[in-house]
A and B are shown apart, each in its own frame.
Chain A
């Protein structure tokens, strides 16, 4: 596990150059669109306030990124005893960990774990001022077990994707 003092978290800047970084899978595929998101869409998302894009440096070198947005998770119908009046759709405030990528050279050092800690810590801080009850993310079956170890719960698979969520309060 990488020593946290070697990590630096900051917001993406126009000067950050990711062209030499590789966020594809070890077999070169990009099933979750992580590499293409960063290289083609991230700046647009940031400029239009759709996501805050964070970078992670290791000893000053760009190593990872992730995208965060205000979001929600909903249940279609409450259990009978939990219905309030006629309300049958409930939305729970959340932070979405939208995309996350670690460059191939920096994998298996616990950077993904630290990014999740960042999100869970930030959600608790944000929650003091703007209600935030969950951190949620969407992933595929192969990666779900990773997040389960970090105490995320999972929904059933739909269209090859799985929603995962963790309460922060």
Chain B
């Protein structure tokens, strides 16, 4: 990564359509459970004052 690579991704075409489908659907149970596990891990082991 370099400074010039701080370039925001702009999704087009099929990538944009896939992204919007993903963005607009409900998270699956697996995704929700994984997010909860990550949050629990962060709160328990990682929170930096």
Q: List B residues 3-48 near A (Cβ within 8 Å).
A: 3, 5-6, 8-12, 14-20, 22-24, 27, 30-31, 34-35, 37-48
Contact B10 A121 (CB under 8 A): no
7 contacts between A and B (CB under 8 A): A4-B45, A9-B46, A76-B11, A120-B34, A122-B46, A138-B9, A155-B9
Cβ-Cβ contact count across A and B, 8 Å cutoff = 109
CA distance A134 to B16 in the complex (A): 15
| One of A19-27, A91-99, A140-148 at the interface | A91-99
Interface of A is mostly: mixed
Nearest residue, chain B, Cβ from A4:
B45
CA distance A50 to B38 in the complex (A): 25
